[in-house]
Amino acid sequence: MINKAILMGRLTRDPELRHTGTGTPVCSFSIAIDNGYGENRQTDFINCVAWNKTAEFVSNYFSKGKMIIVIGRISTRSWEGQDGKKNYATEVVASEVSFGESKRSQEGGGAYPSAPYSGGNSRPAPAAAPAPQMPADMDDDFSPLLDTDDDLPF
């Protein structure tokens, strides 16, 4: 059986980091996801929870309005409230989170890690190859190469 959710949306509020009685970090947050177009457009609000290092990561690097990508599983739970009424909750338990927008596109910026975060289980992103450099003695005029009167060889 498969239970996997992949979501991309904006945080509706700042993430809330708490600790359990044993000191385990847990972070609750909600994301807004737009669906449809024009008059059929609606927004879904999805509750999410992250644990341990992922919880700390979300708390440290995300805030209200930031775009986030969440990969996790859907979880349901129920409990009896103080009033004796049975309560239900459905949420996504995040196993991996990533930034949904680049640093440049965000107002106010900030230093973000470049790779998705999955609680320390992901491999670091490979280093980008340097852009090829043109030799300094090479002429920048390529117009002789663009002669359109000749037939193409293919």
| Per-residue confidence band for 107, with pLDDT thresholds at 50, 70 and 90 | low
Q: Which residue ranges make up each domain of the chain? A: 5-99
Per-residue pLDDT averaged across 89-113, rounded? 76
E-assigned strands of 52-108?
Answer: 67-80, 86-99
Question: Which region among 2-11, 70-79, 92-101, 122-131 has the lowest average model confidence (pLDDT)?
Answer: 122-131
5-99: CATH homologous superfamily?
A: Nucleic acid-binding proteins (2.40.50.140)
Share of the chain above pLDDT 90, in %: 59
State residue 36's pLDDT score. Answer: 84
| Parallel, antiparallel or unpaired: strands 86-99 and 42-51 | parallel
Asked if pLDDT for residue 2 goes beyond 50, the answer is yes
Contacts for 119-126 with beta carbons within 8 Å, 24 or more apart? 119/52, 119/53, 119/54, 119/57, 119/95, 120/53, 122/96
Question: Which region among 10-19, 87-96, 99-108 has the lowest average model confidence (pLDDT)?
Answer: 99-108
Neighbours of 154 (CB within 10 A): 3
Specify the 3-state DSSP secondary structure of 52. Answer: helix
Q: pLDDT by residue (tens digit) across 20-79? A: 999 999 999 999 999 888 888 999 999 999 999 999 999 999 999 999 999 999 999 999
